Structure 1
Amino acid sequence: MTMLEILYQKKKVRLRVVQLTAYKQMKIVETHGKNGHTYYLFCYKSHFINVKKTAAVHLHSFLARALREGFTFSTDHVLTNIFLQSKTAYPLITNNQMVDKLKKQFSATERLYILAMFDNYIQPQKIQTLCKESFYQYRRNGQLKKAFQIVLHYHNALPSDSFANDMLQHTDFQKYRTLYADIEQLAAGWSDPLYLENYIFDHHFPHSFIKPLFDQYGIEERAFDQILLYYCQHDSLQDKLSLDQLPFAAYADKIQVSFWSELLPSHRFTRELMEQLLSLGAYDAILDYFLQTKEQPIELDLLDQAAPHVSADFLAKRYQQILPLITSLYEDHHQLDQLLKQLVKKLLSSTALSDLLACIDHNELPTVQKLRKIKQLTDNPDQQFVLGEIYYELGQYDKAIACFEWEMELAPDDTSPIQYLYKSHLANGDKEKAQTYQQLLATLPSS
């Protein structure tokens, strides 16, 4: 469960994260407090703006539209974790404090655009008054383009506002309406990034605009937005970007593995992506992809690098798919047997021998023969030394120790089981017991 802290009345309050919503430039985190209250955390581009305690979401507010039309991710989603990786406590400030803060950080156009996004908390008439002040000031100064942009962006945040709608249709702004109607020309110079970003979002990410938008995010140092855009639009971006263009440098390998593991099932196979996953140690994700893909041949050199390092937990859950897959792919029996041996070492401690053999018993590989031998000798008290040797070779040191201890009791003068007990305990990480058998060996005559 993801948590965050806010500063409220000089006290830190821990809140449970419910979801993250990304809508245009705004990221909105819904959280719940212990008392059942709902708080929304608002971030604009890469800037934290405010936290708002929220009793209700008004039907026609920007917040309602964002929650309805934005990209939403659960509390445990990798993008939520990436976005909230900072341990900062976020301050809840008053509306007046927020207005003062915005004046210091943003131009008049962006300041009004951001305030319009808080119409769930500020009376729209108050925001409209601020809009009129800036609009008429620019207009009186003959700065008609800036006046037009004020109401244009304000309208994007509050499309039902009557003042913005009236001013956008005024004859003074016909030239700018014509300019903005030619979206291709506007995009060629990327002359109004804020408007273009809104246009791209509202028109469901036209293919030709996605890479320029990604580049604009880079110019504005909006690393999370680049990662978010790639996640949501990777079909359009993966052929236009190398993976090192994604701004993951600030994030831990674990975060990157989670990102690619989440995205991999819907991502077209690329050699670069697999090599990236290998470098991050995402072996389970690679094996999972190979198990699911039916569209193309599996590259054995990638499988060679990933399969030996797959986690024991993943292997135990998927061995009934993994073992038949690898035995069907390799023509080189020696190479196959070496890989199979590594996997069997991980499986024997958690998987029944009969279940393992059921997957691979049709092969005559040395490792398979050893497994059959184990099954044959398990209940034979006269063959415990041979059984112990097989267990030792397959890395089952506890089972090997039990066999050699039995054999040592039957033949106390034979140094061979003692030597194996020394090696088995050493391999098992028990240096103290290994030393005991080493000392015992020193007291016995050589056989």
Structure 2
Amino acid sequence: MEKKEMMPTDIFIKDKKHMVKGNVIRAAVFARSKVIEVSTADQESYYLIFYKHSLIFGGQLDHAEEGTFLYKAIHQGIIIESPHPILHALTPEVTVTIPNKSNLFSHLQLHYSPLEIVYILTTLDSFFEKEQLIKAIDKVFYHYRRSGKFMKSYQVIQMLAEFAPTLKSAQERMAAHEFSSSQHFYHSSSLTAILTKDPLYVELHCFKNRTNPDNRIVLEEIVSKQDGIDELLLWLENAEKTNVNKTLEKYTGIALRFVTMEEWMLILAQININPFHALPDTKSFIKKMLQDGHYEKAALCLLNFIDDLPASYDAILLVLWEHSDPKFVIAHFEQFIKLLRHLPHQEKIKHYESMVFQIAEILLKEDDLKTVHEKLIPIEKVIPGLEVIRKISEMVGLLENPDRMMDLGDYYAEFKQYDQAIECFFWEMELQPQNPSPVRKISKMYQSKGMVKEAAAYQKVFTQLKSSQETG
């Protein structure tokens, strides 16, 4: 995943009469719910809460307050940080509209079951007063109890007791005699048995306790029937701890519904799974990327696995070196050093002078000469005899030799470091004020910098000095 290889996920949020643009910086999946955190250009944070991939509510907050559902989701959920490519799949809508707060409860009644509404209400405590939410949950509880649906009302009170653990009335109602059979059922039955009566409870319970192998198995079975991205996220969270050879084909099929093969390879790299061993046809996929001119994207797929690539990839690595932008090489310098070790020795000098020269030129703009020399030493060890590095080494030696400032200036000029070259030529001009040569070089440096007036002024001085020499 390039720094650019995966752009931030842009999103537009319509909040009342205002339209706000921001970037999705992370998503937190928590069972059936999902939290999307958005950062705007003004550094404001918006939080959006989804249920089964539908936006429920959201708004601008300074932070997720401890104890709220938002806080719990961000600290206990499955977290996907930007610029992870799956983030795009978790935020499929480019524009979202935050529902009207006053109409939210009636809107929920039209689209969700009463038990789902209760759960959804417990996720909104960052945006509504807790007492208001408790009051709405109580209405569902009493509706079920009046109807004689004691199991349903017990399910409601369980969620309320967890949502407001200090609420005395919730604890008292849970202990009421009328709920003794329901309480016994939940305490004595297996998760599989409870699943038939209360799938929401089991899914939430297993998600919260997904580090427990038995709970994880049940959760995997539940999400496998939902035909969504949650099954993939659950697998990715635990993939490094499991035998991926048995499941990779299955989850590759799921992943390619949401991300490209290129992105999937990068995702596998993030969890230390070598896609070039684990997936079929990756080599042909990389070749296709090269044919399409996507050299840096292909490099990003390969660089993490340079040490574990077969020799049959050497020709591909050579193409990557030749076509990668020097700035990209510098950004992934250590990995490219490993890449160089894989290439045939006879190819190295022929194919590397130009790239190393460009690398040196860029580095000299950012660091002093000695630092640049130190950075290039690893290349020297892999490719001894490069003319570029010989010149840089000689330049380091010339730094302490005031009698050879003209030579050092010429080297700087060759690497397009015109300011440093001018300093060297100035030094020589002061030592030899009658010598026209350093003046002529200064004029050329200013000309190369596009400073026409300065170049013309020194050209005039050069002409005068040259004339004096000829008449003298």
Q: With structure 2 as the length reference, what TM-score do the two structures score?
A: 0.61
User: Contact conserved, 2:266 with 2:300, CA < 8 A, in 1?
Assistant: yes
Partner residue in 2 for 1:359: 382
User: Given the superposition, is the C-alpha separation of residues 289 and 35 from structure 1 closer, same or farther in structure 2, using an over 3 Å criterion?
Assistant: closer
User: Which of 50, 55, 58 in structure 2 is aligned with 1:48?
Assistant: 55
Separation (CA, whole Å) in 2 of partners of 1:194 and 1:266: 30
Q: Deviations over 1:316-338 (max 9, x none)?
A: 733432233466xxxxxxxxx8x
Partner residue in 2 for 1:322: 339
User: Given the superposition, is the C-alpha separation of residues 122 and 163 from structure 1 closer, same or farther in structure 2, using an over 3 Å criterion?
Assistant: farther
CA deviation after TM superposition for structure 1 residue 306, in Å: 5.8
User: Given the superposition, is the C-alpha separation of residues 350 and 93 from structure 1 closer, same or farther in structure 2, using an over 3 Å criterion?
Assistant: same
User: Given the superposition, is the C-alpha separation of residues 344 and 96 from structure 1 closer, same or farther in structure 2, using an over 3 Å criterion?
Assistant: farther
Partner residue in 2 for 1:132: 138
User: Given the superposition, is the C-alpha separation of residues 209 and 325 from structure 1 closer, same or farther in structure 2, using an over 3 Å criterion?
Assistant: farther
Partner residue in 2 for 1:394: none
Separation (CA, whole Å) in 1 of partners of 2:48 and 2:171: 29
CA deviation after TM superposition for structure 1 residue 351, in Å: 2.5
**Residue 359 of structure 1 aligns to which amino acid in structure 2?**
V
Partner residue in 2 for 1:210: 216
Aligned to 1:351, what secondary structure does the other structure show?
Answer: helix
Partner residue in 1 for 2:233: 228
Q: With structure 1 as the length reference, what TM-score do the two structures score?
A: 0.64
Separation (CA, whole Å) in 1 of partners of 2:66 and 2:78: 18
Runs (4+) of structure 1 moved beyond 6 Å?
343-346, 353-357
User: Contact conserved, 1:28 with 1:42, CA < 8 A, in 2?
Assistant: yes
User: Contact conserved, 1:109 with 1:153, CA < 8 A, in 2?
Assistant: no
Q: Deviations over 1:224-246 (max 9, x none)?
A: x2232122111347355243445
Is 1:38 the counterpart of 2:45 in the alignment? Answer: yes
Separation (CA, whole Å) in 1 of partners of 2:175 and 2:343: 67
Partner residue in 2 for 1:267: 272
Unaligned runs of 5+ in 2: 1-7, 287-296, 359-375, 391-472
Separation (CA, whole Å) in 2 of partners of 1:37 and 1:308: 45
User: Contact conserved, 1:211 with 1:237, CA < 8 A, in 2?
Assistant: no
Partner residue in 2 for 1:108: 114
User: Which of 153, 168, 177 in structure 2 is aligned with 1:171?
Assistant: 177
User: Contact conserved, 2:48 with 2:57, CA < 8 A, in 1?
Assistant: yes
User: Given the superposition, is the C-alpha separation of residues 346 and 115 from structure 1 closer, same or farther in structure 2, using an over 3 Å criterion?
Assistant: farther
Aligned to 2:38, what secondary structure does the other structure show?
Answer: strand
CA deviation after TM superposition for structure 1 residue 6, in Å: 1.0
CA deviation after TM superposition for structure 1 residue 188, in Å: 6.4
Separation (CA, whole Å) in 2 of partners of 1:5 and 1:252: 22
Separation (CA, whole Å) in 2 of partners of 1:25 and 1:344: 58
User: Given the superposition, is the C-alpha separation of residues 140 and 189 from structure 1 closer, same or farther in structure 2, using an over 3 Å criterion?
Assistant: closer
Partner residue in 2 for 1:288: 303
User: Contact conserved, 1:287 with 1:310, CA < 8 A, in 2?
Assistant: no
CA deviation after TM superposition for structure 1 residue 7, in Å: 1.4
Partner residue in 1 for 2:448: none
User: Contact conserved, 2:26 with 2:80, CA < 8 A, in 1?
Assistant: yes
CA deviation after TM superposition for structure 1 residue 115, in Å: 1.1
Aligned to 1:275, what secondary structure does the other structure show?
Answer: coil
**Residue 186 of structure 1 aligns to which amino acid in structure 2?**
L
Aligned to 2:231, what secondary structure does the other structure show?
Answer: helix
**Residue 264 of structure 1 aligns to which amino acid in structure 2?**
A
**Residue 143 of structure 1 aligns to which amino acid in structure 2?**
K
Separation (CA, whole Å) in 1 of partners of 2:132 and 2:248: 47
Partner residue in 1 for 2:393: none
Partner residue in 1 for 2:255: 248
CA deviation after TM superposition for structure 1 residue 357, in Å: 7.6
Separation (CA, whole Å) in 2 of partners of 1:292 and 1:135: 61
User: Which of 186, 192, 212 in structure 1 is aligned with 2:191?
Assistant: 186
Number of aligned residues = 343
CA deviation after TM superposition for structure 1 residue 5, in Å: 0.4
Identity of aligned residues (%): 18
User: Given the superposition, is the C-alpha separation of residues 230 and 247 from structure 1 closer, same or farther in structure 2, using an over 3 Å criterion?
Assistant: same
User: Contact conserved, 2:306 with 2:339, CA < 8 A, in 1?
Assistant: yes
Unaligned runs of 5+ in 1: 328-336, 363-370, 376-447
Is 1:14 the counterpart of 2:12 in the alignment? Answer: no
Is 1:92 the counterpart of 2:107 in the alignment? Answer: no
Separation (CA, whole Å) in 2 of partners of 1:10 and 1:23: 30
User: Given the superposition, is the C-alpha separation of residues 300 and 103 from structure 1 closer, same or farther in structure 2, using an over 3 Å criterion?
Assistant: farther
Aligned to 2:125, what secondary structure does the other structure show?
Answer: coil
